[in-house]
Structures are given as structure tokens and as C-alpha cells.
């Protein structure tokens, strides 16, 4: 008798990740309201029942996507703690912070992250509230404490440290989210084409020093070992959704 060929299945963890990868693409292209679970299941090469086995409904799946995009903020806790407790002045800590958020928003592979964020902003940000409380607020609080220590040490003058931190984040997020907006304009080259990530970091850092530093010549460069740790953290935070699913996409394809 001829032997039957068994249909190969992805391992359970890989199946879940394949669904997440397809969902990231769908939510990035269509937003939460426009994405359809049947299309996500088809793209992941599973049936709809299998999708709902792993994710009860579209809301649960979307929450998992947001956790995937932002989750590395929690997974790098030890490295963050090591950097936050390093013997640096407040401006050097801001340097590390800028390096990390620029990597998160500026990685050229992070289109899905930026698209989903744009959809969320347009839709009223309801789903981002949970993400902000879980992942973003703790980082803002930690950096606010750094600036407050800088004020106490006589390094900085700042009337609202939380607003100062939020201003840095907002500038970076707005800059990268609007790259395509200015793509065909006369100012595109000056804004983007001729500006490297390091150029942008130094521009923001110099503005921070000019705005808040008591001594405009305060040291802002990082020791080599701290710079290496910051680069490692930036690498881990840059595009978690794409990095952890690349193998799944190759397997499923």
C-alpha cells in the first residue's frame, strides 16, 4: 500500500508567531478596523479556527501585536538598569536615552511599527493607553528621575522634567512618522536625505544642552564601554517584531 504523506505543521510556538507576523502586516496596512482575521489566517497559512485557538478574537490578537512591537522594552530590563545606574552625568544619560529611542523609531525596517502607531493615533489611541502604561510610562518616569538628579546636582535647570523627556520622545517620533510626508518637497534633503541617525542624535543632544545645561561645556560623550552597552540595547529595541519573526516567515514561506 502506498504510504500517506503527512502534512507538516509548524510547531505550536512557530504557528503562533506566524499568525502574529501576518497580523502585524495586516494591521500596519489596514489598521485595526480594516484588518480581517480571515485574511490574517490565510496569510499565516492556518485556518480561522486555528487563529482563534491562539487568539480569542481580533482584539486579543491586536493586543498581542502591540505587545510584540513594544515588548522588548520590558525584556531588556537588566541592560536598562545597568545603563541607568552607570556613573554618568545627567546629559550623558540623556545621550543614552536618545540613542535608544532613535534606534526604536529610526530603524529602516520598522515600517510596521510606525504604520500601526499612525493608525492608532488616527483612531483615538485607545489601544495605546494600555501599552503606554505598561511599557512607556516606566521609561519616562526613569528618565524624569535622571533629569531631577541633574537638577539636584546643579547640572541642569528645568522647570518640568517630565515635559522635557516627553519633548525628546515626541520630536523623534514625529520626525520619523512624517518622513514620507516631505518626500517630494524641496526640504526633504535637508530634513532626511542628508541627515544620518547620528546627525539627528547630536542635533537633539546639543539642543537639550542649550536648553537645560547649567554649563554648556558639560561632558556629553559616552565612555567606550557605556557606548557599547547603549548600542546593544538600541539593537535589541530596534525592531523586535521583525527580528523574532524572520525565521518564521522563512519557514512558512
Q: Are residues 124 and 160 in the same domain?
A: yes
Note whether residue 252 is domain-resident: no
Band of the pLDDT at 252, cuts 50, 70, 90?
A: very low
| Judgement on whether residues 37 and 148 belong to the same structural domain of the protein | no
Our count of domains for the chain comes to 2
| Residue 2 burial (CB count, 10 A) | 4
The answer on 52 and 24 residing in a single domain is yes
Q: What is the value of pTM for the model shown?
A: 0.76
Residue in 38, 175, 6 with CA at minimum distance from that of residue 104: 175
Domain co-membership, 62 together with 89: no
86-90, 97-101, 223-227, 243-247: which has the minimum mean pLDDT?
243-247
Inside any domain, residue 235: yes
Domain boundary among 26, 51, 69: 69
In this structure, are 119 and 205 located in the same domain? yes
Residue 229 has pLDDT above 90, yes or no: no
Q: Nearest 5°: CA angle at 69, between 68 and 73? A: 90
Residue 104 domain flag: yes
Answer yes or no: do 64 and 90 share one domain.
no
Distance CA 253, CA 43 (A): 10
Residues 65 and 77 in one domain: no
- 7-35 residue pLDDT tens: 445 567 788 888 988 998 899 899 888 99
For the cut 50, the answer to whether the pLDDT of residue 173 exceeds it is yes
- The residues, any chain, with a CB within 8 Å of residue 74's CB and separated by 6 or more, are 134, 135
What tens digit of pLDDT does each residue of 45-58 get? 999 999 999 999 99
| Residue 107: pLDDT over 90 | no
Q: How many CA atoms lie within 13 A of 57 on its CB side?
A: 1
Give the chain's mean pLDDT: 82
- Looking at the fold, whether 63 and 75 belong to one and the same domain comes out as no
The Cα–Cα gap between 45 and 131 comes to: 28
Domain housing 103: 71-239
Query: For the residues 241-252, what does the mean pLDDT come to?
Result: 45
For residues 214 and 154, is the Cβ–Cβ distance under 8 A?
yes
What does the pLDDT read at residue 248?
Answer: 39
Question: Is 36 domain-assigned?
Answer: yes
Using left for φ > 0, alpha for ψ between -120 and 50, and beta otherwise, residue 125 falls in: left
For residue 215, being part of any structural domain is answered with yes
Amino acid at each position: 500500500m502506498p504510504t500517506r504523506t503527512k502534512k507538516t505543521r509548524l510547531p505550536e510556538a512557530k504557528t503562533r508567531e506566524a499568525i502574529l507576523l501576518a497580523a502585524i502586516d495586516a494591521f500596519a496596512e489596514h489598521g485595526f478596523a480594516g484588518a480581517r482575521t480571515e485574511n490574517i489566517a490565510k496569510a499565516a497559512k492556518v485556518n480561522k479556527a486555528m487563529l482563534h485557538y491562539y487568539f480569542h478574537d481580533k482584539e486579543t490578537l491586536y493586543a498581542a501585536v502591540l505587545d510584540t512591537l513594544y515588548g522588548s522594552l520590558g525584556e531588556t530590563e537588566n541592560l536598562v538598569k545597568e545603563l541607568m545606574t552607570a556613573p554618568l552625568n545627567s546629559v550623558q544619560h540623556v545621550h543614552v536615552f536618545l540613542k535608544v529611542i532613535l534606534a526604536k523609531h529610526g530603524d529602516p525596517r520598522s515600517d510596521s511599527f510606525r504604520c500601526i502607531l499612525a493608525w492608532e493615533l488616527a483612531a483615538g489611541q485607545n489601544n495605546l493607553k494600555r501599552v503606554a502604561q505598561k511599557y512607556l510610562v516606566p521609561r519616562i518616569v526613569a528618565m524624569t528621575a535622571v533629569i531631577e538628579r541633574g537638577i539636584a546636582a546643579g547640572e541642569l535647570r528645568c522647570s518640568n522634567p517630565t515635559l522635557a523627556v516627553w519633548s525628546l520622545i515626541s520630536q523623534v517620533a514625529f520626525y520619523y512618522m512624517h518622513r514620507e510626508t516631505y518626500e517630494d518637497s524641496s526640504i526633504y534633503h535637508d530634513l532626511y536625505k542628508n541627515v544620518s541617525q547620528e546627525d539627528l542624535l547630536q542635533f537633539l543632544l546639543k539642543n537639550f544642552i542649550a536648553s537645560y545645561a547649567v554649563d554648556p561645556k558639560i561632558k556629553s560623550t559616552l565612555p567606550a564601554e557605556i557606548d557599547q552597552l547603549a548600542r546593544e540595547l538600541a539593537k535589541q529595541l530596534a525592531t523586535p517584531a521583525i527580528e523574532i519573526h524572520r525565521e518564521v516567515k522563512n519557514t512558512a514561506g
